[in-house]
Amino acid sequence: MSKLHVTTTVNGDEVEYLCDPRETLLDCLRDKLNLTGAKEGCGTGDCGACSVTVDGRLVCSCLMLGVEAEGKQIETVEGIADGYVLHPLQKKFIEYAALQCGVCTPGILVAAKSLLEKNPDPTEEEARYWLAGNLCRCTGYDKIIRAVMDTAAELREAS
Amino acid sequence: MIQVHLWSSLRSLTGGQQVVEVEAATTGELLKELVRHHPRLQAPIDAGVSVAVDGRIIATGLSEPIPEGAEVYLMQRLRGG
Amino acid sequence: MALDHRKSIFNFVGTRPDRPDGLDKVTGRARFGADAYAPGMLHGAILRSPHAHARIVRIDTSKAEALKDVKAIVTRADFAVLPFKPGLEGEFWNVLENVMAGEKALYDGHAIAAVAATSALAARDALKLIEVEYEVLPHVTDVDNAMAADAPVIREGAADYSVPEGMHPNVVRYHESGHGDVEAGFAEADLVIEDSFVTEATHQGYIEPHACLASLGMDGKGELWCTTQGHWYAQKYCATLLGIETAQLRVTASEIGGGFGGKTTVFIEPVALALSRKANRPVKLVMNRSEVFRSTGPTSSASMDIKIGMKKDGTITAAQGIFRLQGGAFPGAPGDLTAMCAFAPYDLTNVRQVGYDVIANRPKQAAYRAPGAPMGAFAVESVLDELCNQLGLDPVDVRLKNAAAEGSKASYGPTYERIGLVETLEAAKAHPHYSAPLKPGQGRGISCGFWFNHGGETSVSLALSEDGSAQVMVGTPDIGGSRASMALMAAEVLGIPYENIRVTVADTASLGYNDVSHGSRVTYASGLATIKAANHAVEKLCERAAAKWGIPVDAVKWEDGCAVPSGPNAGDFDPLPLADITADMGATGGPISGHFEATPEGAGVSFGTHIVDAEVDSETGKTSIVRYTVIQDAGKAIHPTYVEGQYQGGAAQGIGWALNEEYIYGEDGRLQNSIFLDYRIPVASDLPMIDTVIVEVPNPGHPFGVRGVGETGIVPPLAAIANAVSNAAGVRMKQLPMSPPRILAALKEK
């Protein structure tokens, strides 16, 4: 089967890859671009471990084909920190121990960042519903929600 | 003499006794002596047992001392998640 | 040198520093099972049985082999060559049979053949070309049906010595224990309640599917990278199944994306190694979610009969439980553990418990957090709640009245050492949650829970660097922040800052044998070993100081990171800091390291009490958990935040088990809900904040008093939630999960 050439932008860098039309964006990020931060937890869009943003919109990269990334702006967990400066969400996740195994963390950080960009002052309920597409099996979500709410408060104070 | 308490389904292997007496100073000796006096106990011991000595559960160790007069229970080997 | 004293005042232990793997995990850098790649790597895929029970008549791989992208295909025949260790038996045989079917497919999802190809897509395409002829056999998936006289026999001769005569061959192990005279006890009771309960199988539900990267040469030397709770276990089992020497296979544990017991065994690892050996190239094998559900885990399903007698004052006069656990097509369902744990919180004069291990056409059960205990607690604590309701007694008071304490005879036999159950119940009673008013439609439930905990074989090595920093090598994969806990314990002994210690999970070639990260053993056993290894290094540090000062070593003690004279008679020397000793250690006797290898046998048993408020929507049958409090004895919390994390995580998994999660099999014996959309684990919007109370009753078996905390947190939730829901709905819920249809049905029958 012939492969297709794709040019796209990931975390601000222009990248190219050849992919089989059946390969997902997640496959391409991981296997062709060495960006293994996004994880495949289910492959069916149910767990959110592969969350990325595409032109600013939160998507499950396992549900999007690699070829559909042509010309898009993609942001992954690897692009959340600004160089060596962590994003406030990343700092709070460490401080609150909002992760145990950490395999869902990349997706949750991408989703939480997307939430705070849309809604800087979410209620706990809004945060819980926004993150309902990101499964975590270790934490019971308590410390994750606290970290997100505290980050939101800190970002509001800073702005 | 150490009184060894067995779990009740082992009675079928000891002629109905749930408490048996053996001479033993360690957990390893205890298991050996149990089999010597009650050969049919080999099967449960091979399947895996733990020994509780005065309430402390010895999961696998064969060299743990058993003081005279200690309370000794044979237990099925524990498994964790 | 008094190095082995039991500590109660701490400088580092009990603080809450950031975890050492935090940065890697928030930036996407942490490398999990599927994040490894190798030059020339092939991709594997596994063909699985669509039948619950079928004889494999013929496997034809010729069409798949003809594809140019396909480099190797393996079936069971490729595991039969065992020159080094012929004649597998017992659990080795069970695991081999489970990772690749022999004569029969024993469950929907059982591995039949595997392919390695140049890409994952090519491997998947090749699977479609493998032709398998099956002779479909009658199957059984339900535990009660599997014990019935007319049930199909899954494996002749699988029963062990313990099964009494006359039972169906699917009953493979039997346990009975207890003491006193239950019949006499029931006769003394003012009220006896007898009832039956059912729980469905659930999956551990780790978010990271099984994944590995294997490389094995024809010379019998191999490398394996995998996500596992125990890489020495993986080494032993893979080497045995492939007929190679254990030491020739080096296994490295990746970061692990959740395990909860489900990654204490091997599934794809021996298959990847077999493919690699045949193709003579590295092979990466990653399960998809559906494979995880169909072929790994799950926990056992259970059918249970409970009978408890109580006096009007709340005294339990007798208790009896029959626990039938179905553990898939292989022996191993923890019916014995269910039986031994079910009544363990209570000081009972008359108790009898029976456990059955039953095989059925389902995947081989794997451990899941306190395996066997949650279902038993659900049944027992439900009956206790009903007794309290009918006698008009407070459920915490009744539990306090009957609670086991130091000196009580455990339901499984021995006399308890110091335990913390009463303290958790007193904390529950004093907690504001317990006296908070409930709204209409809400109910409150409480439950106690017990788990044994485990020690296990453990090796730790600690090495000091010239600059005074320390590296600690442990062999227990970090499943909950244990590297931080180890560093805190090492810091406590060495007296150097937490930040100057790096803890690494060593590979199998770098350290002695280590039992799996299971049985809530890591902070207990690897922690104890870390303390002892640090003590060992401190002894050497003291020797160097003694030599430098020209005084006997017993005149030197270790204090706050320095060697100091042990008293005024020892001489007048300035404290000698660790870094000053290590700076010239090469010249004063060589590198300074500490080691500890042993099987610690003092894990100490563990108790918890949970309080939960549930609200039931009588129109839809949906249950909301509105408030949840976990109270558990940690012995001593090394890193309290991570202890809280274990409590919260256990409760959340218990909530899923109680309300939503279940394996649903069709009439055809196939699993009908093998994706997360249909097998619904709790999401963020399902749960409230989960409050925690850490009770600390030190464990006499650990130098700092640690008791494992990982598993007990999942024992009380099923019962606590069932009690809350039953009290809210006004009808006793006897089957889990309490999904909306079941609640509506129960409300209708009320």
The residue behind tokens 């997100």 is: A148
Residues C745 and C708 in one domain: yes
CATH number for C567: 3.30.365.10
Specify the pairing of strand C249-253 against strand C222-226: parallel
Q: Which domain holds residue C672?
A: 418-449+605-749
Is A97 in Cβ contact with C641 (below 8 Å)?
yes
| Contacts across the B-C interface (CB distance below 8 Å) | 106
Domains of chain B (ranges; CATH) run 2-76 (3.10.20.30)
| End-of-domain residue from the set A49, A79, A109 | A79
CA C411 to chain centre: 23
**Angstrom distance (rounded) from CA C729 to CA C195:** 18
Q: Is residue C294 part of a domain?
A: no
Q: How far is CA A36 from CA A29, A39, C470, in A?
A: 7, 7, 30
How many angstroms separate the CA of residue B56 from the nearest CA in chain C?
A: 7
**Angstrom distance (rounded) from CA B22 to CA B14:** 13
**Angstrom distance (rounded) from CA C31 to CA C574:** 46
| End-of-domain residue from the set A25, A49, A79 | A79
How many angstroms separate the CA of residue B22 from the nearest CA in chain C?
A: 18
Residues of C in contact with A81 (CB under 8 A): 27
Residues C634 and C557 in one domain: no
Residues C587 and C631 in one domain: no
Residues C589 and C518 in one domain: yes
Tens of pLDDT, residues C114-129: 999 999 999 999 999 9
Q: Which amino acid would we find at residue C253?
A: A
Find out whether C2 and C484 touch, Cβ atoms under 8 Å.
Answer: no
| End-of-domain residue from the set A32, A59, A79 | A79
Reduce the DSSP state of residue C436 to 3 states and report it.
coil
Residues A108 and A130 in one domain: yes
Q: In the 8-state DSSP scheme, what is residue C596?
A: E
The DSSP code sequence of C526-577 is IHHHHHHHHHHHHHHHHHHHHHHHTS-GGGEEEETTEEEESSGGG-----EE
B4, B6, B9, B53: best mutation site toward chain C, by most C Cβ within 10 Å?
B9
* Cβ-Cβ contacts under 8 Å for C463 (sequence gap 6 or more): C470, C471, C473, C591, C592, C593, C594
pLDDT at B15 exceeding the cut of 60: yes
Find out whether C404 and C410 touch, Cβ atoms under 8 Å.
Answer: yes
User: What's the confidence (pLDDT) of residue C750?
Assistant: 85
Q: Is residue C237 part of a domain?
A: no
Provide the Cα torsion C738, C742, C743, C746; round to 10°: -130
Q: How far is CA B37 from CA B13, B21, B22, B45, in A?
A: 11, 9, 8, 13
Residues A33 and A95 in one domain: no
Is A101 in Cβ contact with C256 (below 8 Å)?
yes
* B 17-36 near C (Cβ less than 8 A): none
Tens of pLDDT, residues C445-480: 999 999 999 999 999 999 999 999 999 999 999 999
Asked if A100 reaches chain C (Cβ–Cβ under 8 Å), the answer is yes
CATH number for A62: 3.10.20.30
User: What's the confidence (pLDDT) of residue C567?
Assistant: 87
Residues A94 and A146 in one domain: yes
**Angstrom distance (rounded) from CA C546 to CA C548:** 5
The full 3-state SS of C664-705, as one line of letters, equals: CECCCCCECCCCCCCCCCCCHHHCCCEEEEEECCCCCCCCCC
Residues C445 and C430 in one domain: yes
Asked if B15 reaches chain C (Cβ–Cβ under 8 Å), the answer is no
Q: How many domains does chain A have?
A: 2
How many angstroms separate the CA of residue B19 from the nearest CA in chain C?
A: 12
What percent of chain B has a predicted confidence (pLDDT) above 90?
93
Pick from C37, C38, C30: nearest CA to C255? C30
User: What's the confidence (pLDDT) of residue C79?
Assistant: 86
- By CB atoms closer than 10 A (0-12, 13-18, 19+), residue B32 is middle
Structure tokens at C445: 């439930």
The ipTM value here is 0.98
Q: Is residue C374 part of a domain?
A: no
Chains within contact range of chain B (3+ C-beta pairs < 8 Å): C
Burial C123-139 (b: 16+ CB within 10 A, else e): bbbbbebbebebeebeb
Mean pLDDT taken over chain B = 94
Find out whether C381 and C346 touch, Cβ atoms under 8 Å.
Answer: no
Arithmetic mean of pLDDT, A65-71:
98
Is B56 in Cβ contact with C521 (below 8 Å)?
no
**Angstrom distance (rounded) from CA C214 to CA C210:** 13
C9 CB neighbour count, 10 Å cutoff: 6
* Cβ-Cβ contacts under 8 Å for C447 (sequence gap 6 or more): C377, C381, C385, C609, C610, C716, C717, C718, C719, C720, C723
Residues of C in contact with B58 (CB under 8 A): 601
pLDDT at B53 exceeding the cut of 60: yes
**Angstrom distance (rounded) from CA C595 to CA C267:** 32
Structure tokens at A61: 């990269």
Specify the pairing of strand C104-105 against strand C131-136: unpaired
Residues of C in contact with B49 (CB under 8 A): none
Asked if B71 reaches chain C (Cβ–Cβ under 8 Å), the answer is yes
Residues of C in contact with B8 (CB under 8 A): 176-178, 352
Q: How many domains does chain C have?
A: 2
Reduce the DSSP state of residue C354 to 3 states and report it.
strand
| End-of-domain residue from the set C598, C614, C639 | C598
Residues C424 and C463 in one domain: no
Residues C439 and C472 in one domain: no
**Angstrom distance (rounded) from CA C402 to CA C379:** 17
* Cβ-Cβ contacts under 8 Å for B15 (sequence gap 6 or more): none
Rounded to the nearest 5°, which phi and psi values hold at C277?
-65, -40
- Among chain C residues, the shortest Cα distance to B50 is held by C601
- Among chain B residues, the shortest Cα distance to C411 is held by B7
* C 31-60 near A (Cβ less than 8 A): 31-32, 34-35, 37
Residues C640 and C738 in one domain: yes
**Angstrom distance (rounded) from CA C239 to CA C273:** 9
- By CB atoms closer than 10 A (0-12, 13-18, 19+), residue C164 is exposed
Rounded to the nearest 5°, which phi and psi values hold at C231?
-80, -20
Residues C477 and C432 in one domain: no
Residues A34 and A68 in one domain: yes
Residues C580 and C546 in one domain: yes
CATH number for A115: 1.10.150.120
Residues C593 and C550 in one domain: yes
Chains A+B touching (3+ CB pairs under 8 Å): no
Cα angle C309, C312, C313; round to 5: 105
Residues C549 and C511 in one domain: yes
**Angstrom distance (rounded) from CA C707 to CA C492:** 18
Asked if B73 reaches chain C (Cβ–Cβ under 8 Å), the answer is yes
User: What's the confidence (pLDDT) of residue A2?
Assistant: 87
Residues A19 and A75 in one domain: yes
Asked if A10 reaches chain C (Cβ–Cβ under 8 Å), the answer is no
**Angstrom distance (rounded) from CA C228 to CA C33:** 8
Q: Is residue C572 part of a domain?
A: yes
Residues of A in contact with C649 (CB under 8 A): 100, 137-140
| End-of-domain residue from the set C581, C598, C615 | C598
User: What's the confidence (pLDDT) of residue C90?
Assistant: 84
Chains within contact range of chain C (3+ C-beta pairs < 8 Å): A, B
Residues A100 and A69 in one domain: no
- Among chain B residues, the shortest Cα distance to C299 is held by B81
Q: Which domain holds residue A140?
A: 88-158
**Angstrom distance (rounded) from CA C228 to CA C253:** 6
Asked if A23 reaches chain C (Cβ–Cβ under 8 Å), the answer is yes
How many angstroms separate the CA of residue C603 from the nearest CA in chain B?
A: 8
Residues A131 and A97 in one domain: yes
User: What's the confidence (pLDDT) of residue C4?
Assistant: 46
**Angstrom distance (rounded) from CA C11 to CA C494:** 11
Dihedral over Cα of C502, C508, C511, C517: its sign: positive
| End-of-domain residue from the set C598, C620, C655 | C598
Asked if C499 reaches chain A (Cβ–Cβ under 8 Å), the answer is no
Is B79 in Cβ contact with C337 (below 8 Å)?
yes
Provide the Cα torsion C86, C87, C90, C92; round to 10°: 30
Residues A104 and A70 in one domain: no
Regions of chain C with pLDDT less than 50? 1-5, 83-86
**Angstrom distance (rounded) from CA A54 to CA A41:** 19
Structure tokens at C177: 């224990």
Asked if A24 reaches chain C (Cβ–Cβ under 8 Å), the answer is no
* Cβ-Cβ contacts under 8 Å for B16 (sequence gap 6 or more): none
